[in-house]
Amino acid sequence: MNLLAQKALDAYGGRELWTESKRIEAEVSVHGLAFTLKRRPFFKHSKIVMDIARPYSRLTPIGKEAGITGVLDGHDVRLENQHGEIISERKNARSYFPAGRRLFYWDDLDMAYFANYAFWNYFTLPALLMREEILWQENKPGCFEAIFPKEIPTHNLVQHFCFDKETGRLIQHDYTAEIISNLAKAANVVLEHARNNEGILYTSKRLVTPRSPKGKALPDPTLIAITVHDFHFIK
């Protein structure tokens, strides 16, 4: 692990915290044009629980019905009711995007795939730096190019992460949201950090906008705005 990766890991709690913890629990609110275009309701204080070691995530509510949970399990998704019973499921969810009616409308299973994998990637980032199957290269000072394997559900194969060289805090995460479109080149900018009750730092506000050809975050439109109200670990 190079110096920048170590700084980033230390900034967000350190290696021991991320290797000994099993899950993350968070409370999130999300809105933006990406939801509107897919005719999806915004998330308002939704609850999310994620495994750190593998892409498994549960988001409640995933849609308009309060008791329905969207579950990502690897590349598969399902919906569960408040009793944990499976309502519907979809294997290899990514293979259904982006064609057909998904150009205009996403159902709860579509949203369960997109939102859960996105949050899992965002919130487990320090742990992602330790995953050997992801190829990390510091291609310029403070910035990594990351090449993801097919085993990890994520936005696209090659992504870029820029950190503050002194503090290790994430500044910007660039990717292409391919399940929306190959043209959906986005800049995910961290606006604010906060600390939870245990004093652990986390990204509390993010803004996702289109990215210019030179890699700059454009001021608008707001594709996705994320507010994290709570964030803590379960060992």
Cβ neighbours for 84, distance < 8 A, ≥ 6 positions apart: none
Residue 214 pLDDT greater than 90, yes or no: no
Domain-located, residue 83: yes
* Residue located via tokens 């600390």: 195
* Domains in the chain, number: 1
Structural domain containing residue 151 = 3-229
* Residue located via tokens 């510091």: 138
Which of 40, 26, 8 lies closest to 224 in space, CA to CA? 40
Where residue 198 sits, what CATH number does that domain have?
2.50.20
Domain-located, residue 78: yes
Domain-located, residue 7: yes
Residue 1 pLDDT greater than 90, yes or no: no
pLDDT digits (tens, 9 = 90+) for 63-113: 999 999 999 999 999 999 999 999 999 999 999 999 999 999 999 999 999
Question: Beta strand pairing status for 43-51 and 56-60?
Answer: antiparallel
pLDDT digits (tens, 9 = 90+) for 149-198: 999 999 999 999 999 999 999 999 999 999 999 999 999 999 999 999 99
Domain-located, residue 108: yes
Q: What are phi and psi of 193, to 5 degrees?
A: -115, 160
Domain-located, residue 214: yes
pTM, two decimals, is 0.96
CA 191-5-25 angle, to 5 degrees, is 55
Domain-located, residue 235: no
- How far is it, in rounded angstroms, from Cα 167 to Cα 218? 25
Domain-located, residue 234: no
Which of 157, 150, 174 lies closest to 74 in space, CA to CA? 150
Domain-located, residue 96: yes
Half-sphere exposure of 137 (CA within 13 A, CB side): 7
